[in-house]
Structure 1
Amino acid sequence: MADLNAILDSIKELKLLEVAELVKMMEDEFGVSAAAPVMVAGAADGAAAGGAEKSEFDVVLAEAGASKLGVIKVVRELTGLGLKEAKALVDGAPGTIKEAVAKEDAEAMKAKLEEAGAKVELK
């Protein structure tokens, strides 16, 4: 242990340029690299794409169901559309109600529409 302390004390006394030279000599002597390991970009991109969870969704009205009037009211409430536009959207199902909605908001919209009798998908 005393030998290691002596080595450490010797290294502490070196100048920065001398430490860099020592590192280079150790790399050459032992066939190693002092550089930090780097992940291969191709492997990292594939893993990240597969594991990333979607944060924005499109709320799609798949089917209006039996109670079109109730669905039209909810569509108007959620989108701010007028009666004519909301009716056209519901009659033209399947169609997108809202695009790029945060996950929590999209799930809340889906719940309201399903409560009114519609079939809704989040894409």
Structure 2
Amino acid sequence: MGEFGGIRYGLLVCDHTDYDVLLLDPGPAPFEVVKVHRELTGVGILAAKQAVTGPLPVPVLTGVEERTARRCVARLRAVGATAEARPHA
């Protein structure tokens, strides 16, 4: 592999960044957030309720593409929650 081959490989590997979706605050309608959490994760109602009402911040999704993370954050914010997408550590 030549010098340029190594650079190209590095750009391809480093270009993809996974994101985590974090719930920072359920807001005024926690039941609506529980419903959205269930839709996004596929967990049961009890697990979603415990996640939403437990200690914050709560990771909703981990290691997803940026576009997916932004959509999930938008869905959570639409029901009054405070959420954000952070690069996956």
The aligned amino acid for 2:50 is: A
> Equivalent residue of 1:58, what SS?
strand
TM-score, scaled to structure 1: 0.56
Shift of 1:53: 6.1
> Equivalent residue of 2:62, what SS?
strand
Larger Rg belongs to? 1
The aligned amino acid for 1:111 is: A
For 1:53 and 1:59, the matched residues in 2 are separated by 19
Shift of 1:94: 1.4
TM-score, scaled to structure 2: 0.76
1:1-123 to structure 2, matched below 5 A, reads 55-92=17-54, 93-123=56-86
For 1:53 and 1:91, the matched residues in 2 are separated by 35
For 1:69 and 1:53, the matched residues in 2 are separated by 37
CA deviations on 1:3-42 (whole Å, 9 max, x unpaired) are xxxxxxxxxxxxxxxxxxxxxxxxxxxxxxxxxxx7xxxx
CA deviations on 1:54-74 (whole Å, 9 max, x unpaired) are 621000000000100100000
- Structure with higher RCO (Cα < 8 A, 6+ apart): 2
For 2:76 and 2:47, the matched residues in 1 are separated by 17
CA deviations on 1:85-118 (whole Å, 9 max, x unpaired) are 0000100231100100100000000000000110
Q: CA RMSD in A?
A: 1.8
Q: Percent of counterpart pairs with the same letter? A: 33
